[in-house]
């Protein structure tokens, strides 16, 4: 399976960007499982970036800097974030700061989301929705993998059937 960026409906489907199946085409369990697994991955990413934006003020607005400096800044923030999560998790990300999912599948939003509402981030420009057959095939391959004995979670089918 290729490495991919996990996106939502705002992103185009590419061989290297995975987005969910549209709601109108959820005609089988494999597609529902794929969307659920993609959403779990996206939630992890949203928590990570949300926490970083809420902790590092420079990320709250557009940054004017040379591209090389932006790369260094981004890497430094990621390293510091990981270090603080590992060394000082109780103070850097106390309980309730990240999204959680209860036993009924209800998502409880983390406190970082309230801080994000204050940020003035600019939306990403919408790009073409043209998808290639290769991109559709990669998404299908992931959907099949998530249903295979190697890629499945033992409870995923029960969960998506219960929540749909």
Q: What is the pLDDT of residue 20?
A: 94
d(CA 55, CA 51): 6
Q: What is the pLDDT of residue 121?
A: 53
CA angle 97, 99, 103 (to 5 degrees): 125
Q: What is the pLDDT of residue 150?
A: 94
Q: What is the pLDDT of residue 34?
A: 95
Please write down the long-range contacts of 46-52, taking CB distance under 8 Å and 24 or more positions apart. 46/99, 47/98, 47/99, 47/110, 47/112, 48/81, 50/110, 50/112, 50/113, 50/115, 50/116, 51/81, 51/93, 51/97, 51/98, 51/110, 51/112, 52/77, 52/78, 52/81
pTM: 0.74
Q: What is the mean pLDDT of each run of 10 residues along the chain (164 residues)?
A: 91 93 86 93 89 88 89 94 93 89 79 73 58 94 95 89 80
Query: Does residue 26 contact residue 35 with C-beta atoms inside 8 Å?
Result: yes
Q: What is the pLDDT of residue 123?
A: 56
Q: What is the pLDDT of residue 37?
A: 93
């Amino acid at each position: 399976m290729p490495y991919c960026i996990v996106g939502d409906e705002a992103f185009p489907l590419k061989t290297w960007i995975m987005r969910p199946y549209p709601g109108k085409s959820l005609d089988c369990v494999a597609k529902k499982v794929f969307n659920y697994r993609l959403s779990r991955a996206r939630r992890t990413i949203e928590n990570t970036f949300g926490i970083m934006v809420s902790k590092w003020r420079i990320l709250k607005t557009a940054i004017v800097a040379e591209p090389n400096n932006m790369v260094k800044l981004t890497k430094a923030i990621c390293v510091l974030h990981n270090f603080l999560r590992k060394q000082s998790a109780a103070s850097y990300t106390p309980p309730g700061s990240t999204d959680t999912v209860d036993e009924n599948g209800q998502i409880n939003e983390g406190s970082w989301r309230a801080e994000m509402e204050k940020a003035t981030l600019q939306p990403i420009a919408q790009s073409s929705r043209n998808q290639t057959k290769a991109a559709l095939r990669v998404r299908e391959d992931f959907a099949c993998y998530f249903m295979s004995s190697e890629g499945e979670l033992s409870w995923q089918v029960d969960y998506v059937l219960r929540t749909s």
